[in-house]
Amino acid sequence: VLLGDALHTAHFSIGSGTKLAMEDSIALAEKLAFRARRARGARRVRARAQARHRRVSAGRHESRLWFENARDYVRLPPARLAYSLMTRSNRVTHESLRRATPSS
Ligand SMILES: Cc1cc2nc3c(=O)[nH]c(=O)nc-3n(C[C@H](O)[C@H](O)[C@H](O)COP(=O)(O)OP(=O)(O)OC[C@H]3O[C@@H](n4cnc5c(N)ncnc54)[C@H](O)[C@@H]3O)c2cc1C
């Protein structure tokens, strides 16, 4: 990266070379800070996406097993079948269902 006199010279008679060099430095510092913030932002977005993916895929094995054995579950009475389907992967639990429908 070139800054100051290495990048451009102002005739000393106008007395602005130092100011221009300082402004170049400030612009460079701002650019570097912006890139660092953007990189941190991108890392945060990636981490959130990975956490979401982990949450969603946590119960995939149990869910697949439930559907593979659906033949056994369809014999259940409708309410128990619905309960079994909803809680198949442990992402929805008895407790979370109770909280969502407190009157039941
Ligand atoms: C006579 C004169 C009067 C001036 N009056 C004014 C004024 O009144 N107001 C004003 O704003 N500007 C003035 N200027 C201009 C001002 O001095 C420069 O524009 C300003 O210093 C540029 O800053 P810089 O950091 O880019 O370069 P510099 O201040 O020149 O800094 C470059 C540094 O790098 C070092 N260096 C060079 N090669 C190497 C190397 N290979 N390895 C390691 N280090 C190296 C040098 O020793 C130097 O310390 C004047 C210039 C002159 C010549």
Q: For 35-67, what is each residue's pLDDT tens digit?
A: 999 999 999 999 988 887 777 777 888 888 999
Q: Are 4 and 17 in contact (CB under 8 A)?
A: yes
1 alpha carbon to ligand 1 midpoint, in Å? Answer: 16
pTM exceeds cut of 0.85: no
Ligand 1 site, CB within 6 A:
3-6, 12, 15-19, 21
Span 15-30, average pLDDT: 89
Nearest CA to ligand 1 atom 27: 5
Share of residues in the chain with pLDDT > 70 (%): 98
Q: Which of residues 102 and 100 earns the better pLDDT score? A: 100
Cα-based distances in Å from 90 to 5, 11, 75, 76, 93: 66, 74, 21, 19, 6
pLDDT at 102: 76
Cα-based distances in Å from 100 to 26, 92, 95, 96: 54, 10, 9, 6
Q: CA 88 to CA 104: how far, in whole Å?
A: 20
pLDDT greater than 90 at residue 89: no
Share of residues in the chain with pLDDT > 90 (%): 47
